[in-house]
Amino acid sequence: MDEGISQVTLEEIEESLCKIGEIKAARVVASSFGSIEEIHVLALPTKPPKQLVRDIESLIMARFGIEIDHKKISIAQLGEDVVEKGSPSLHPRARIDGIQTQVHGVSATVTVHLDFEGRAIDGSASGPASQTGRLRLVAQATIDAVEKYLDHELSFALEDVAVCKLGGEQVAVSCMVLVTTLGEQAFAGSALVRQNENDSIVRATLDAVNRRLGFLTTA
């Protein structure tokens, strides 16, 4: 039987699991008695499932002192095309080729042009033309481009975006969640405002996405 997990939180275990290179999302389910009943992970297909299960067992035992029955671990792997286009060893760089905003009355459409090392992808989003609304559209258009790059293997939802002052610097911050069949995981990214707010929002959003993908960098 698993040891109780009263001394740690499920979130701590999930965060630790996501530090394993292949794992992109994790969900730990506990019983009412405080034992781990199920562990579900979404992973890249760069390591055999049996090896990944052993890594999960070893990590949880070494860090939390909890013994896990391998039968309680479920592995769901992404398609090979995600690895081919975005392997961590390749470190693809996303270059910002342009950001366009079109305003039609009270509505606006933002298009973000990204170049993933020779693969040009446009992302777009439409919505209210308010100042805050346009910032959100920039982030949403960036997410749209990244999802297209990944052939919609992963789905992201924007939580919030803002430009704030920290010390003597203006900083763009983007917060989002990765939506999977295992649930949602939140993460955030940031970028100093150097050229303009829109450019920094794109960079902050890519930084947020990179918190989970672990391979996307910005040129």
Helix (H/G/I), strand (E/B), else coil: 110: strand
* Phi, psi (deg, nearest 5) at residue 97: -95, -15
Find the length of the chain.
219
Task: Walk along the chain (219 residues) and give the pLDDT tens digit of each residue.
Answer: 344 455 567 888 888 888 887 888 888 888 877 788 889 888 887 788 888 899 999 999 888 888 888 888 988 877 554 444 444 434 467 889 999 999 998 999 999 999 887 889 999 999 988 888 899 999 999 999 999 988 887 888 999 999 998 888 899 999 998 877 667 778 888 999 988 899 999 999 998 887 666 555 555
Q: Is residue 69 a contact partner of residue 39, using CB atoms and an 8 Å limit?
A: no
pLDDT of res. 117: 77
Q: What is the largest CA-CA distance in the chain?
A: 63
Domains (ranges, CATH) in the chain?
10-77 (3.30.300.30), 87-218 (3.30.160.270)
Which 8-state DSSP code applies to residue 72?
G
Q: How many CA atoms lie within 13 A of 115 on its CB side?
A: 7
